[in-house]
Structure formats: C-alpha cells, structure tokens
Amino acid sequence: MIVFEQLNKGDHSLRALAWGVLLGLLLMMGQLWRVQVMSADRYRASLQTQSFKSVRVPALRGRILDRNRRELVGNTPRYRLDLYLDELRPQFEAEYLREKREFVAARRKAMGDSSSGGWVLEFWNHLRHRSKTVRLTSVDLEMLQRQSRYTVVSNTVAAVGSRLGTRLVLSEEALHSHYLNRRFLPLSILPDCNPTQVAQITEQIWAIPGVALEQVAVRSYRYGSLAAHVLGHLKRDDNPDEDREEITYHYRLPDFVGAIGLEKSLDAELRGTAGTKAIQVNSQGYRHHQSEELLTPPQPGRNVVTTLDLNLQSAVEKALNTVKGGDERGAAIVLDPLNGDILAMASAPSFDPTEFLSPITTTRWESFHNKEPERPMFSRATYGEYAPGSTFKVIHALAQLENGLDPNEIFTVRANPADPGHGVYYVGNHPIGDRAPPGEYDFRRALIKSSNSYFIHYGLHMGWDRLLSMGRQFGLGEKTGIGIGEEATGFFPATEDIPRLGYRQGDLANICIGQEITVTPLQMAVAIGAIANGGQVFYPRLVHRIEPYDLFSDGAPERVLAGQVRGEVRLPHRYYELVRAAMRDDVLDDEGTGKAARLPDFAVCGKTGTAEIKGNGRKDKVTWFVSFAPYEAPRYVVVVMIESGGSGGGTCAPVAKLIYRYLRDAETGQTKGLAGG
C-alpha cells in the first residue's frame, strides 16, 4: 500500500524503478515460456539422445558350400546364459549398507584402546568411541561399492552353478570392467550351455533374479578339420577399423573376422553388414527395462559356393592319412584339367577351425599348432615350397622336344664305379648319381626310368634359355592366382637372373633334374593340367559363385567364370602326345617308377619324383607323384607330395591310386556319399 501511495504521489524515481522491475519480470516470464514451451521438444530430444547407447550388432556370416551346395561352413544356434546387473541393484544397495556398517565398526574398534582397565573403563571407552565420527574417503566408498557388487554377483553366479551342477567362477576384474564400460549390456556367465543345462535353466530361471537365456549364432565347421586350410578360420575382431563405419558405437557385440583361407579372402562377402540397436540407460548407466530398439537390422553375409566336392575331399584326406597312420606331412590336390577347377585340396596334418572361436592358450599353440616339424597351420598345398625332383622332367622333356630332340635317339648311361647297379653322369669332374641302371635309353625309357644322366646330358647341350622359358610358361616361379592369401611363388629363375645368381654348369645340371628350384604342389597341379589338356595354363578356380544368403531374395548370384586361361604353351600336338604316352607307360610298364598307381580300366599317367633336402644340419627327402587320368580323355589331375617319404613311387603313387579308385567308382556310381544329397 505504501509503495502504491508513493507512486501516486508522483515520485518519478521510484516510478521508474518500479517499471524497470516490472519489465524485468515480464522478460523473465517470456524467456521461461520460450524454454519450457517453445523449445521443449528440442530439449526433450536432446535428453533422449544423451540417454541412449548405440550398440553394433554383427551380421550373420554367410555359409561356405561345396559345388553341390552341401554345407561345409555354416552357423549353428548356441545358448548363452546372461546376467543383467540392473535387476540386482536392490541387492547391491543392501549389501553395500551392510558392508559399510561392518567397515565403520571395524574402523571404530581400531581407533579404541585395547588395554583392559575394568568394566567401568571399558564402558567409558565404548561410549567415548561410539560418539566419534568415522570419516570415509572416496576411495573407501568406491572400494565398498565394488566389493559389495562382487559379493552379490559372485553369490548369484555360484547359485546358478549349483543349480546346473557345474562350478561357475567370475573374477572380480572381469565384473569391474563390465560394470565400468558396459553395464547396460548383460554379463555372460555361461557362454555355451548344453541341452541339459538349457532345460534346467528354462525350468528354474524364475528363481534367480537377473538371469536370462540368450540364443546366439556361432560359426560351425561341420566336418571339423576337413579342408581346413582352404576354408580357413576366424579370429576375434574387437577393434575394427573405425573408418569403415559411419556410426560411432558405444559398444560392439563380439564379432569375428576371417584370419586365413576363404574366410579371410572373402571376408567382405561373408561378413555382411552390421546393424545398430539403441539401449536406453538411466543416470547410473543401467538399461531401462525392455528399452532396446533395433534401429537398423544387420544384413547377413552372402554364401560362397566353392568348386570343392565334399565326398572327394574326404576321400583325398583319408588317402593321405594312410601314409604314416595319420602322422604324415604332405599335400594332395585334385584339379580339373579342362577348366582349372579345384575339386579337392588337402594339407596334412590339419587343424580344427572351431578351436579359434575361443582363445587358444600358449601351451596349446606351442604344443600343437606351432609344433615342429608337423606345423598343422601350414598349408603345404599352396604355401609349401619344395624341390620338384624328377617330376620336373615332364616340363624339361617338352623343352627338349622343342629344341629338336629326336625321341628315338639312343643315349648310353654309364655305370657308376661306386655303385655298379646304377648310372652316373660327370659334370667336369663332379659325379651326379643316377638311380636308373646303366644301359641304353631313348626318350620314352629315360622318362619312365627317370634317368638323371639322360636329362642332364641333353639339358647341358640345350642350355639355360629354352629350359627356363618353358618352366616360366607353365607358371613356375609365380603365384597361380587361386585367390587365397596363403600362396607362395616358389623359386624358378628367369634367364636374365643367371649372371646375377652366378650359376654355372653344375647348377644347370641340378635344375635339369628338379634340384635348386622350388615349386608348390598347386603350381605342379596347374602345370600337369596344361600338359594333360594340350598347353592351356588355367587360373585355378576355387570359388564357383557368390550368392545371397536367402536364395529367395532379389540379389543375383555373382558367378566366377570357369576356364580362365592364364597363358598357353604353344607346341606341336605330337610333343604333348609323346610326353603323355611316356607318363602312361610310367604307370603301366613294369619298368616304370609309378606302377604302384596302376588301376584296372582307368589309365593313369604319372611321373614320380624324389628330391633331397640338405642344409642347416638337416637331411630329408621330398617325394612326389604328379599325374592325370584317364589317358584317352583326361578329366582329373592328381598331385601328391609327402615330406620325409621313401620315394615318389613307393610313398606317393599308392595314395594317388586310392584317389583315382574313388574317382573311377564315383563315375560308375559305386561310391557312398559322405554327407548325402
């Protein structure tokens, strides 16, 4: 009343002040209305954005199939037992208060005098210290919170284990890390539940708060170690390249990436596109109940249909295992010489790709995966570099024929004075032993008896150029282009490399018989395929097509064309026929070194080889059998290589015979399928 009376009296200063206050109040009310009404939606959206966590959801990985669409690698459902920490918060709080009381009581007791002075003094001390305030630091409070959480969770995990009849243990560090970084996600306490455990959990899940059963897809290698080096394996991908993705995720669900084999080389096709889900969390970082939203669903990867034949692959690996009762070290390849398709490719010993879905201990790695000389992770078929020995003579023979060799010309092999039953050839004063006996040799007999003397003699007269050029035309010294990363080039020099390498006549003599050069079994398979088909060197094909995961989707299959020619070794047809006929006789003739591969009603054409390895205090042998069949119309190339074998004819040819027997019987319908369908 007094204020208004003063205003009415005409106090101009007071009136100006009043109007100023009133104007300020009006401005404040306008700003408040703008914030609470006009900008409410924007602030509400901002609040919601801040309370959501984005989670990367990996896609279902595409399957790998054989040429008949039988599954080699797929995905199988697995049940995982999870624990949601947000449902245990009441227990966290109760346990925290209990442990805090005990901690304060212990601290007070430690502050008191433990000396005895009668009951009166003890009562007085009790009242005195009871009245003292125990101050807890932030470190104390954090320690108590951490300890109480672990007590509750470990008791819950132990209770779950007791109901399932198995011992479950959770480390405090694992819980602490999960709580700090991803408490809005469930904590996995049993990653792989067996059917019995699933049934028990389903019946009793209501009795334990926070426990949930989750179904997840796990990579499945249906036939274990079968074709493991071709198919490859996965490895955990916890730190993917951020540049590949447009979204910055708060968390990534466990994902895998291809490590070797097709899993790696076609990882982009198999992996698919990850999805995104949003999880709403509260101020404490816990998820809101039933608050997940799938923003973008993951798109499954595409299927890869290979050129492999499941049943043939199994037959090849079984044949390879007959060498030393499963302790062999070697490789075997079956290739179609008409288009370069890989029908089977095996390396021994092998490994189970499933092991790599979980961490492998150092002990397991050193005692098995990286153990010498077995090295089961080593793909001998594509990455092993070995001296080809006498198998190189089939390529050398073509070079000789191109150089004008008369196949009927006779060359006499001298007897070795130190070993009269075998021949010898002298390069200068240096003798080179010959496992073939002394006597007269024409082209055919020299090839089937694998005479070193014959090929060294004519090779020295021919010289470097034509020999090395012929090997290069067949792809030696270069990768085949099969499309998997685990492939070596081998060592096969070009003519221009000879001066730099300082090679002399002795080196040329060794190369003539397959020493001082190295090849991979796959390179030899491609080369023999070209000899079988008349000179076309194909890129080996391992992938037939890439198709959508769902065949009823709109996506079209992406086909990999067969019969892609890398080069052509243009020689008169009669040269190839001379070599092919000699390879046939190497198996059919009783004098031939490859007669152990002989098969009735199926003309196998082959060449054996044995190469010695010396150096670093090591002396070993590499044995070979390279072949194609049938002679009249070649449809298969089979290459077998065994480390530490006895001889190509005695060690490798019998393995090839088992493979050809399967192929022959499969053509006549006499074999039983491994997987059916």
Which residue type, as a one-letter code, is found at position 233? H
Which residue type, as a one-letter code, is found at position 313? Q
Query: What is the 8-class DSSP label of residue 349?
Result: S
User: How many helices and strands in the chain, by DSSP H and E?
Assistant: 22, 24
Distance, in Å, from the CA atom of 510 to the CA atom of 508, rounded to the nearest integer, reads 5
Distance, in Å, from the CA atom of 66 to the CA atom of 84, rounded to the nearest integer, reads 41
Q: Are residues 403 and 518 in the same domain?
A: yes
CA-CA distances (angstroms) from residue 362 to 171, 365, 367, 371, 374?
A: 21, 5, 8, 12, 17
**Last residue in a domain, options 305, 334, 369:** 305
Q: Are residues 330 and 423 in the same domain?
A: yes
Which pLDDT score is estimated for 677? 33
| Higher per-residue confidence, 238 vs 417 | 417
Please indicate, yes or no, if residue 232 is contained in any of the structural domains. yes
Confidence of residue 103 (pLDDT cuts 50, 70, 90): confident
Distance, in Å, from the CA atom of 143 to the CA atom of 136, rounded to the nearest integer, reads 11
Please indicate, yes or no, if residue 367 is contained in any of the structural domains. no
**Last residue in a domain, options 247, 276, 305:** 305
Q: 147: buried, middle or exposed (CB in 10 Å: 19+, 13-18, 0-12)?
A: middle
CA 94 from chain centre, in angstroms, equals 48
- Domain of 432: which CATH number? 3.40.710.10
Q: Which residues pair with 427 in a beta bridge?
A: 430
Reduced to 3 states (helix: H, G, I; strand: E, B; else coil), residue 442 is: coil
Q: Are residues 177 and 199 in the same domain?
A: yes
Q: Are residues 250 and 330 in the same domain?
A: no
Q: Are residues 334 and 197 in the same domain?
A: no
Average pLDDT over residues 326-330: 84
pTM for this entry: 0.82
Distance, in Å, from the CA atom of 350 to the CA atom of 228, rounded to the nearest integer, reads 7
Q: Are residues 294 and 335 in the same domain?
A: no
Identify the weakest region by mean pLDDT among 31-35, 311-315, 588-592. 31-35
Residue 105 has pLDDT above 90, yes or no: no
Q: Are residues 298 and 433 in the same domain?
A: no
Q: Are residues 32 and 161 in the same domain?
A: no
Distance, in Å, from the CA atom of 225 to the CA atom of 349, rounded to the nearest integer, reads 9
Please indicate, yes or no, if residue 364 is contained in any of the structural domains. no
Reduced to 3 states (helix: H, G, I; strand: E, B; else coil), residue 222 is: coil
Please indicate, yes or no, if residue 208 is contained in any of the structural domains. yes
Please indicate, yes or no, if residue 677 is contained in any of the structural domains. no
Q: Are residues 153 and 15 in the same domain?
A: no
Contacts of residue 488, defined as CB under 8 A and 6 or more positions apart, other chains included, come to: 382, 383, 384, 385, 479, 520
Distance, in Å, from the CA atom of 149 to the CA atom of 170, rounded to the nearest integer, reads 12
Please indicate, yes or no, if residue 587 is contained in any of the structural domains. yes
- Domain of 267: which CATH number? 3.90.1310.10
Which residue segment(s) compose the domain that 203 sits in?
Answer: 54-305
Q: What are the tokens at 634? A: 């070649």
| Higher per-residue confidence, 509 vs 140 | 509
Q: Are residues 528 and 434 in the same domain?
A: yes
Confidence of residue 184 (pLDDT cuts 50, 70, 90): confident
Q: Are residues 147 and 70 in the same domain?
A: yes
Please indicate, yes or no, if residue 376 is contained in any of the structural domains. no
Please indicate, yes or no, if residue 378 is contained in any of the structural domains. no
Average pLDDT over residues 529-557: 91
Which pLDDT score is estimated for 367? 92
Q: Are residues 43 and 59 in the same domain?
A: no
Distance, in Å, from the CA atom of 475 to the CA atom of 530, rounded to the nearest integer, reads 10
First-residue to last-residue Cα distance in the chain: 102
Query: What is the 8-class DSSP label of residue 210?
Result: T
**Last residue in a domain, options 32, 47, 62:** 47
Q: How many domains does the chain have?
A: 3
Do the Cβ atoms of 665 and 605 come closer than 8 Å? no
Q: Supply the angle between the helices 138-164 and 89-111 in degrees, to the nearest 10.
A: 130
